[in-house]
Amino acid sequence: MKILVCISHVPDTTSKINFTNNNTEFDSNGITFVINPYDEFGLTRAMQIKEATGATVTVINVGSASTEPTLRKALAIGADDAVRINAEPTDAAFVARLLADYAEEQNFDLIITGRESIDYNGGAVPGMLATYLDIPFVNACIGLELKGTKSTVIREIDGGKETLEGNLPMLLAGQKGLVEEKDLRIPAMRGIMMARKKPLTVIEAGEAVKQTSVLGFELPEAKAACTMIDADNVEQLVELLHSEAKVI
């Protein structure tokens, strides 16, 4: 079985976010990048399947050379090989098209992505990729079991869970639940050394058209300072709600 795990290279969740170039680009200065957490759940599930069935796991990213440490980490965790499509991933349809071009040639049985990436939170690539490949797609997966070419998938729905059955090949967009946080893998030193010898292939981007462009980003307004009022001082509370908050 061949599994493809799509990996986004995203800022660490504790990063301080700033923009440059007239607020049209993310300022990556001093930012630590990590494997997109949603993708990491999928990568971990792929590693478990690899260990149980002997499947091969390929990881792929659309990005510049600066994303290679993230792919190397996936290799150190245990992926067999990595592919980087050399392009700036600024548009979902563009990224999905490039991924689809690669995946079509390789005949993967299972493609796992994250539900969304935690940087731009578009959540559009998985659905588009499945459409381009014309394979079944299940979003927001919290469970996956395989038996031969049959898959049982659990996904989160409003107020509950839905269990689905399907045939491979298929595409899953995963999240926490696919595995738990405690299952996430930390690369071991031997894995880091082995990653050095594993293939990381760079492919030049083929023809794909960007369908959107960014006009600008805005940061949310800074939180206003919190004024603490003594519980007995209702008069002051009323006064402030009237004069400052202007809600009464």
Partner 1 sequence: MATDLFKAPDYYNLDDLLSEEHIMVRDATRDWVKRSISPIIEEACQKAEFPKQIVSGLGEIGAFGPYIPEEYGGAGLDQISYGLIMQELERGDSGVRSTASVQSSLVMYPIYKYGNEEQRKKYLPKLASGEHLGCFGLTEPNHGSNPSGMETNFKDLGDHYLLNGAKMWISNAPFADIAIVWAKSEENRIHGLIVERGMEGFSTPETHNKWSLRASATGELVFDNVKVPKENLLANKSGLGAPLGCLDSARFGIAWGAIGAAMDCYDTALRYSKERIQFDKPIGAFQLQQKKLAEMITEITKAQLLTFRLGQLRNEGRATSAQISMAKRNNVDMAMTIARDARQMLGGMGITGEYPIMRHMMNLESVVTYEGTHDIHLLITGMDVTGFNAFK
Give the interface with partner 1 as residue ranges (CB under 8 A). Answer: 14, 68-69, 72-73, 76, 186-193, 195-196
Integer-rounded Cα Rg, in Å, for the chain is: 22
Q: What is the smallest separation between the CB atom of 184 and partner 1, expressed in angstroms?
A: 9
Q: What is the smallest separation between the CB atom of 149 and partner 1, expressed in angstroms?
A: 33
Q: How far apart are CA 127 and CA 90, in angstroms?
A: 17
Q: What is the smallest separation between the CB atom of 196 and partner 1, expressed in angstroms?
A: 7
Q: How far apart are CA 6 and CA 183, in angstroms?
A: 19
CB of 184 or CB of 205, closer to partner 1: 184
Q: What is the smallest separation between the CB atom of 69 and partner 1, expressed in angstroms?
A: 5
CA-to-CA dists, residue 49 to 53, 78, 79, angstroms: 6, 12, 11
Q: How far apart are CA 105 and CA 172, in angstroms?
A: 19
Residue 167's CB: how many other CB atoms inside 10 A?
A: 12
Please, are residues 145 and 160 in contact by the beta-carbon 8 Å criterion?
no
Q: In angstroms, how far is CA 152 from the centroid of its own chain?
A: 22
CB of 190 or CB of 223, closer to partner 1: 190
Q: How far apart are CA 42 and CA 175, in angstroms?
A: 7
CB of 45 or CB of 72, closer to partner 1: 72
Q: How many CA atoms lie within 13 A of 243 on its CB side?
A: 6
- Classify residue 228 as exposed, middle or buried by CB count within 10 Å of its CB (0-12, 13-18, 19+): exposed
CB of 32 or CB of 167, closer to partner 1: 32
CB of 186 or CB of 222, closer to partner 1: 186
Q: What is the smallest separation between the CB atom of 187 and partner 1, expressed in angstroms?
A: 5
Mention every residue, 6+ apart, whose C-beta is less than 8 A from residue 178: 41, 42, 44, 45, 141, 142, 143, 144, 172
Q: What is the smallest separation between the CB atom of 72 and partner 1, expressed in angstroms?
A: 6
CB of 6 or CB of 71, closer to partner 1: 71
Q: What is the smallest separation between the CB atom of 46 and partner 1, expressed in angstroms?
A: 19
**According to DSSP H, which parts of the chain are helical?**
37-53, 68-77, 92-106, 125-133, 189-197, 234-243
CB of 186 or CB of 231, closer to partner 1: 186
